[in-house]
Amino acid sequence: MSRFWGCFFCLSFDQLLEPKPTYSEQELVVLLNEQDNDAFNYLYDHYSGALFTIINQIVPDKDTASDVLQEVFVNIWRKIDTYDETKGRLFTWMLNIARNAAIDKIRSKGYRDNQRNQPIAEGESGGMAMSSNPSVNDVGLKKVLTTLNEEYRKLIDLSYFQGFTHEEIAKMMGIPLGTVKTRIRTAISQLRTMIR
Q: In the complex, which residues of this chain contact another protein (CB under 8 A)?
A: 17-19, 40-41, 44-45, 48-54, 56, 62, 65-66, 69-71, 73-74, 77-78, 86-89, 91-92, 95-96, 99-100, 108-110, 113, 135-136, 139-141, 143-144, 159-160, 166, 184-189, 191-192, 195-196
Smallest distance, another protein to C-beta of residue 41, A: 8
Which of 38, 40, 50, 46 has its CA nearest to residue 79?
40
Residue 79: CB minimum distance to another protein, A? 10
Residue 53 CB neighbours (<10 A): 18
CB atoms within 10 A of CB 52: 18
In the complex, the smallest distance separating the C-beta of residue 159 from another protein, rounded to whole angstroms, is 6
**CB of residue 56 to another protein, shortest distance in Å:** 7
Select 3 or 87, whichever has its Cβ closest to another protein: 87
Query: Contact at 8 Å (CB) between 97 and 105?
Result: no
By beta-carbon proximity to another protein, the closer residue of 124 and 142 is 142
Q: Mark out the alpha helices in 15-80 (DSSP H runs).
A: 22-33, 37-58, 62-79
The distance of Cα 145 from the centroid of its chain, to the nearest Å, equals: 14
User: How many residues would you count in the chain?
Assistant: 196
Which residue's CB is nearer to another protein, number 33 or number 108? 108
- Per-residue DSSP letter, 174: T
Q: How far is the CB of 124 from another protein (least distance, A)?
A: 26
The smaller minimum CB distance to another protein, of residues 57 and 124, is found at 57
Looking at beta carbons only, is 66 or 122 nearer to another protein? 66
Task: Show Cβ contacts of residue 191 under 8 Å, excluding neighbours closer than 6 positions.
Answer: 141, 144, 145, 148, 156
